[in-house]
Amino acid sequence: MGHRKLGKILHMGKNRVKRVMKKYGITARRKRRKYTYPGKAKSTVPNLLRNPEKIREQFAQQTGISTDQAILPGLEEVMFSDIFEIKLADQTRIRGCFALWKQTRHILVMAFESHMRAELVVNTINLINDAIPLAIFHSDQGSQFGAAVTQAALLEKGFLRSMSRAGTPTDNGYAERFVGQFKLSVAERRRYETLGVFLQAAEDWINFYNEIRPHEGLNDLSPDQYAQAHGLPIAGEIRLTTAPNRISVQANAALAAKSVPY
């Protein structure tokens, strides 16, 4: 984290923070280049965020319901998702998936598994709080997001599918940026000898991200602060738990003030 964001959190001038960092040799850590995972979905859908005129068409095709009287999601009612991988000290690979709500930048859900199958995405979708209304679920064209079980899970939740154009990571920029931030701040920050130690660090940082970390796109407010300022639900505290005898980690934010719709 650089001197600008630290200044916001500490309520100090950015130049003062910069001087202190320079004095003690403190520098912001740089992001590494993101690894691209192979596997393209056989079933793809248009990018509704770039083609909003297709939202009505996609709704009718996905639900079979006439759109004449339907209330369709807007371009702020979007969940971005992606899959990423981290390694523990013993080289155990852990894969994560999450859902990020565009309007407030909240991380609503995060799930971890030892595999990268579609079930990881399905677990993430199933954990999304039912208080979330009809929304657009946007991802890249990874095979996990185009799998039949993923399509079924999204249909059951009532979410419209949207996918980035092939080979265009900027179409999923919100998710891409979060992955970079998470890896820089948690996964690559230190060696994790056990899954439990990593999960505790991940849990602490995600709650910090939702509650305190300022976002330039939110006028330098955290997701919680922005939500409170605009009468929107806050995400609530996230807890990461593991299932016995296997790596299965799931966390969802129990939305506060459920009577207030997004």
pTM for this entry: 0.80
Q: Nearest CA to 39 among 116, 149, 122, 123?
A: 116
What secondary structure does DSSP assign to the chain, as a single string?
--HHHHHHHHTS-HHHHHHHHHHTT--PPPPPPPPPPP-B-SS----TTT-GGGHHHHHHHHH---SSS-----TTSEEEEEEEEEE-TT--EEEEEEEEETTT--EEEEEEESS-SHHHHHHHHHHS-TTS-S-EEEE-SBHHHHSHHHHHHHHHHTPEEEEPPTT-GGGGHHHHHHHHHHIIIIITTS--SSHHHHHHHHHHHHHHHHHT--BGGGTTB-HHHHHHHTT---------EE-TTS-EEEEE---SSTTS--
Q: Nearest CA to 162 among 40, 42, 45, 39?
A: 45
Q: For each of the chain's 262 residues, which pLDDT tens digit applies?
A: 666 666 666 766 767 767 777 766 676 656 555 555 455 666 789 999 999 989 988 888 877 777 676 778 888 899 999 999 999 999 999 999 999 999 999 999 899 999 999 999 999 999 898 878 789 999 999 999 999 999 999 999 989 999 999 989 999 999 999 999 999 999 999 999 999 999 999 999 999 999 999 999 999 999 999 999 999 988 888 887 655 444 555 556 655 443 333 3
Q: What is the predicted pLDDT for the residue at 219?
A: 95
Q: Which domains does the chain have, with CATH numbers?
A: 1-30 (no CATH), 35-252 (3.30.420.10)
The partner residues of 248 in beta bridges, in order of sequence, read 113
Residue labelled with tokens 């850590």? 29
